[in-house]
Amino acid sequence: MSTLPPPLPLPVILLLSGSLRAASSNETVLRTARAAAPAHVRTVLYEGLADLPHFNPDDDAAPLPGPVAGLRAAIAEAAAVLICTPEYAGTLPGSFKNLLDWTVGGTEICDKPVAWVNAAAPGRGEGSEATLRTVLGYTGADIRDEACARIPVDRNKLAADGTITDESVRTRLAGILTLLADAGQAVSLGSSGPDRAE
**22-59 tens-digit pLDDT:** 889 999 999 999 999 999 999 999 999 999 999 999 99
Residue 105 CA to residue 35 CA, distance in Å, equals 33
Alpha-carbon distances of 144 from 10, 80, 133, 177, rounded to whole Å: 20, 10, 11, 11
Residue 55 CA to residue 95 CA, distance in Å, equals 10
Q: Are strands 149-150 and 113-118 parallel, antiparallel or unpaired?
A: parallel
The pLDDT value given to residue 7 = 58
Q: Judge whether residue 6 has pLDDT over 90.
A: no
Residue 11 CA to residue 23 CA, distance in Å, equals 27
The pLDDT value given to residue 195 = 46
Peptide bond into 63 cis (omega under 30): yes
What angle is formed at CA 23 by the lines to CA 170 and CA 91, rounded to 5 degrees? 90
Alpha carbon of residue 84 to chain centroid: 7
Residue 65 CA to residue 179 CA, distance in Å, equals 33
Q: What is the mean pLDDT of residues 155-169?
A: 93
